[in-house]
Amino acid sequence: MQAPITIGTVLQNRYRIIQILGQGGFGRTYLAEDQRRFNELCAIKELIPIAAGAGAWEKAQELFQREATILYQIEHLQVPKFRERFEQDHRLFLVEDYVAGKTYRALLVEKQSVGQTFSEPDVLQLMRSLLPVLEHIHSRGIIHRDISPENIILRDSDRLPVLIDFGVVKELATRLQAPDTNINVTSVGKLGYSPSEQMQTGRAYPSSDLYALAVTAIVLLTGKEPSELFDETQLTWNWQRFVRVSPQFAQVINRMLHPLPSDRYQSAAEVIQALQFVEQSGVPTPPEVSNFQTIAVGRRPDAVLPQPSNRPDPVIPPRRSTSVLDNPLALGAIGSAVVILAGVGSWALVSSIRSQSNTQPDNTPPAPQTFPSPVISGGTTFGTPINTEPTITSRRLRLGASNTATVENSLKAGQIIEYTFFGQAGANLTTLLEQGTGIALTVLDPNRQVIDSSAQQVSSYTGILPSNGRYTVQLTLAPGVSESDYNLKVALENPLPPSPTETPTPTFTPTFPPAFTPTPTPTLTPTFPPAFTPTPTITFTPRFPDPNNNPPVDSTIQPTPELQNTP
């Protein structure tokens, strides 16, 4: 099997891998950003063919294209939209919408942690929401084949259940692993949830999906696995001993669980009609499985009801009556008085009616009757239901290329609005309510917990995201405020990690030498020798006469003029 794709890799110059959502024998599922659709999140499924050889690869490509065409035919709000298929680096990929929310398996675990399971109204609502989806895909000849709590997500945006991971994808992966086989591989399914005809004979019908939906329902009701509810010796489902539901609802579930496909409901429309009868019957849901608080009618909550006793009723001995009724004369007098009073009363009534018929009729409409508030008992509401729970509206926040978004809207009393977005660990989040009197925001992390103590019921928040995942900005209205407009701004500054092939460049801080102090140049004072004093003239007079009788020569030595001032 090929290694997983590295986080940060961009496929088809479009899909940037963010994280691995899951991995199994059929392949892997990645969470990615579609860079051509404003970084919208999507899910990419990688199908891994095992068979080797050029012929096997060509056969795998042919099956891949044919089965992807089947997925493309599914068009329903509660089914992730299939976007495209592509091949890259000898790998096969399917791209579909990403569904943000929790699976019903995760929701069941949360309820079990506080000692609860799903109630009958909860499961009824789930089935009413999913049956139209099954009716849609069955009308196109597609069988899901893998319905279970793990493959149903309660979507955050609209709180609707979404059906994911169609078995056709697993069937495609199985065929890709052995493209040349002629074996029917529709037996793909989850053990305990899929019926025997699907797991043993490889045949799947619309009633096969209805069977799996019924198993999902009883798992959510009881909190137990199918292996704990199915008696293998008797080949029967024994789920009703773990939970109390209305007989009509139990009858619908048991028919969906029938071992013979011909004895089940044959279409999702038939189950929808049967559930409508369950709702119209008005059978109260037992308090043990109700989400509503039971309120006693006409009695204090702390009143003690008398307990039944198995002892025989006491025998009261007869006693002699001393009543006037025992006297025949008194009894006759009382009877005569009653007859007289009845006659007088009848005359008065007739006279009153005649007097009213002679008067003009009063056209004033009667005063409206005032009815008491409805009383909720045992999960059944009589009268107009009172909804004290706030309505939660969840919307995906579209961050543009600059990773900022501005939302203008209004918030009413009894309403909570949530804006969700995907954030990376280390990113800097800034949220601000510029308008909105009486509105406060709370930032929730991917686990639906307050991200920080300073991010609850505030008008602005700035902080670092601790992990990758989908974050929520929740807006609530203060008590006593009926409605308020708001202007919400959200900015996300993602961290910029260094490239794995490059060494981070350190920040250069220049170091300057100490200030240069020049050495002063001394002033040159030339030194001249003292003034030249010429040598005095020396007159030389020879002592001997010239033999030629020449006159005496003047021997005075005169200094050279140009040398007089030379040192």
Please provide the distance, in angstroms rounded to a whole number, between the alpha carbons at the two ends of the chain.
Answer: 105
Which residue, among 192, 213, 226, 246, has the nearest Cα to 127 in the 3D structure? 213
> Alpha carbon 169 to chain centroid distance?
24
Q: H or E stretch including 136?
A: helix 120-139
Give the whole-angstrom CA distance, residue 216 versus residue 148: 6
Q: CA dist 232 to 98, 192, 219, 237, 254, Å?
A: 39, 11, 17, 9, 16
97 catalytically annotated: no
- Residue listed under structure tokens 């890799």: 9
- Tokens for 301? 């909550």
DSSP codes joined into one string, 309-359: --SPPPPPPP-----GGG-HHHHHHHHHHHHHHHHHHHHHHHHHHHHHHTS
Of residues 34, 97, 122, 146, which has the active-site annotation?
Answer: 146
For residues 330, 332, 333 and 336, what is the CA-based torsion angle, rounded to 10 degrees? 160
The one-character DSSP state at 1 is: -
Give the whole-angstrom CA distance, residue 35 versus residue 40: 7
CB 379 within 8 A of CB 284: yes
Which residue, among 215, 203, 208, 207, has the nearest Cα to 265 in the 3D structure? 207
- Tokens for 147? 């319905």
Which residue, among 52, 88, 70, 86, has the nearest Cα to 176 in the 3D structure? 52
Contacting residues for 140 by C-beta, under 8 A, at least 6 apart: 73, 74
- Catalogue the active-site residues: 146
